[in-house]
Structure 1
């Protein structure tokens, strides 16, 4: 039984009914924390202590709002916006419930209602994933509860194998329809395969023109990524590079007097309008990433190197492009090209006869 400090707050630890209990005293002053621990000792001796978990008092809304504030806000604008969109569906159903009231039965019912409402499987999985992550943190770090009810509910399967890419002629039409400020952004996305956020929010400090590299400290996966620049990408950056020798700040700026940075939403809207103006449908800005990867595979680049360039942790994500290189598979099976002659000339084995039946 004793006290320990965590993030300036004193916590107490003691054994109750053979189980180690850790609770926050909610005090930053050690003397006050000792007084709180003293009261707990008295209750334990007199048998008046009852372990009341915070999950019986904390609400689902408190949990997810703290999760967003601590883990999402400041990480990326896109992530925060997506989290708020997810909570717009979760909070009306679970917001006022205590954590102990959020059961697998309640979650399964929510999942069914979302399916009946026409929500896409990927959307439902994202909503359940946010719940699952928030519960895990509440268990491990905040000690608000002991059980994660989302773990006992099937997340469902999502087919993320969508590969939409366009040929150079179609892309040239889209490029010409883009406003001047958007054209270099489209060009860089096409020839680097970077995600929208990484392209639009690119800083000159991340660009090494001498070595022909873009170095990202944090990608969507949280990994550090270095992307070598091909000639079209280098030439594109040359066209937007300031005249001063040591460039800094955002790479892409609006063509206005105040020269504010371009935003991801601006890019998405302008790119969609450009596609619509030339009659190209179902093609998103993110599909420029697919176009980059598809072109590499079709030109004979192996999937491992494509995976490294895209920054995929899991090779299964890159496998969606495998069907674009059937000639690679054809070369693989050619190792058997001499087997027919070998078997047909073996002692006791005659030429194979093909029998056709009506």
Structure 2
């Protein structure tokens, strides 16, 4: 069939017992294949002079391939065909022993279909800002552990640091440091694991490279500091600071949610009748967040904007707030909390629960942690069941160690 390939048409194409092909009406040869298992793949069909028709797989539908992105890629490939070049042969040459830059592009095209969009976005940023500048020209098979150790040190030392404008109101600030270096190394390891799966290299030279030690950054607000924060928020509100930004900060410390969970929250995910947020996606997948009365009151009073699905509305229609950090910097300075990050509000919500005697199991459930290890940082604040067990066992053993009382 022939129709313009759009997201709506891609989603609406039904799975059949055989492969289904949809050919784009705008770019000749650009198409979509839907397999009997429901896999949707963008492709390009072309023919060079004196050859039979060939098909080139662009990538699987989903991050990073959208209909428009795949169409643009098809146009680029067709320009190669017009020059007499065969995209399939070029890909094979790349796959024989690609450079790290070429491997990164192949990974983003074919190795991230099962990853979250936010993870892919972070991977792409590290690839463009760290991997390609420092390792991009290196051939995959010649990449050695010494190259990777040097890469880790260079990122930490700030050799790829940059501060530049990316659009009218956008700004890219890339810093070095041990944490940035460790995250870039993790992305490189994932890319090399992808190369292993494709048979491009038998080993992963990242294994054995020592990461930098990262200090624990958890910061818990005391009761007095929380009171100062509340006063600073009220003062900012009286000065006419963005009401949605103020509400976002309050919701962060009242719910223990992550920043993006609050900023990307949609009204369809808010259920005030049962006092819960039903998040369709989060760092750990879909989850439910129960709301206390203060959080319910904030949500009930927030004005809704017509045609904007987000709870925390931004300046641009139908978009959520961006730039919360700028408001936070002013609020925390007023409260005398200049070392506190937005993420520390989540820690502080959990620390109040811990100081109130809630178990680590309950705190983990509240925060939506997927592992007990993630909640262990609050152990020293809580009436930890492990500590209770230790105290009980030690008391029993202690009783046994004491001399038996003589009968009178």
Scaled by the length of structure 1, the TM-score of the pair is 0.71
Aligned residue among 136, 142, 145 for 1:95: 136
**Who is 1:286 aligned against?**
343
Post-superposition shift, 1:248? 7.3
Q: Name the residue aligned to 1:263.
A: 321
- Select which of 204, 210, 231 maps to 1:173: 231
| Contact preservation (8 Å) 2:123, 2:187 | no
* Of 180, 187, 197, the match for 2:260: 197
Note if contact 1:139-1:146 (Cα within 8 Å) is conserved in structure 2.
yes
Q: Is the 8 A contact 2:248 2:312 kept in 1?
A: yes
Instruction: Tell me the CA shift for residue 326 of structure 1.
Output: 5.9
Partner of 1:163: 219
2:196/2:203 contact within 8 Å kept: yes
Distance 2:282 2:368 in 1: 8
> Match of 1:110?
151
**Is residue 239 of structure 1 aligned with residue 301 of structure 2?**
yes
SS at match of 2:206: helix
Residue number among 269, 284, 291 corresponding to 1:229 in the alignment:
291
SS at the partner of 2:338?
A: coil
> In 2 relative to 1, CA 316–339 (structure 1 residues): closer, same or farther, beyond 3 Å?
closer
- Structure 2 residue 309 is matched with structure 1 residue 249: yes
Structure-1 residue corresponding to 2:352: 295
Corresponding position: 1:132 with 2:194 = no
Structure 1 residue ranges without an equivalent (≥5): 10-25, 34-51, 349-358
* Segment drifting more, 286-295 vs 234-243: 234-243
**Offset at 1:318?**
0.9
CA contact (8 A) 2:276 2:289 kept: yes
Specify the SS of the correspondent of 2:281.
coil
Partner of 1:149: helix, strand, or coil?
coil
Query: Which blocks of at least 5 consecutive residues in structure 2 are unaligned?
Result: 1-18, 20-31, 35-43, 55-91, 160-175
Whether the 8 Å contact between 2:279 and 2:287 is mirrored in structure 1 is yes
Instruction: Determine the C-alpha separation between the residues in 1 that align with 2:93 and 2:108.
Output: 22
Equivalent residue for 1:272? 329
Cα distance in 2 for partners of 1:199, 1:107 equals: 37
Q: Determine whether 1:153 maps to 2:246.
A: no
Number of equivalenced pairs: 303
> Would the alpha carbon gap of residues 160 and 337 (structure 1) be closer, same or farther in structure 2, given more than 3 Å must change?
closer
Cα distance in structure 1, aligned partners of 2:398 and 2:209: 53
**Residues 67 and 134, structure 1, Cα contact 8 Å, conserved in 2:** yes
The structure that has the greater radius of gyration is 1
**How far 1:215 moved relative to its partner?**
1.4
Asked if the contact 1:56–1:98 (Cα under 8 Å) also holds between the matched residues in 2, the reply is no
Is the Cα contact below 8 Å between 1:213 and 1:226 reproduced in 2? yes
Change (3 A) 1:101 1:230: same
Corresponding residue number in structure 1 for 2:64: none
Cα distance, 1:328–1:122 mapped onto 2, change above 3 Å: same
CA distance in structure 2 between the partners assigned to 1:93 and 1:181 by the alignment: 41
The aligned runs of 1:39-78 (5 Å cut-off) are: 56-68=96-108, 71=112, 75-76=116-117
* Two-structure CA RMSD over aligned residues (Å): 3.8
Following the alignment from structure 1 to structure 2, what is the Cα–Cα distance between the partners of residues 248 and 100?
Answer: 50
Deviation of residue 210 (structure 1)?
1.7
Instruction: Answer yes or no: is the 8 Å Cα contact 2:351–2:381 preserved in 1.
Output: yes
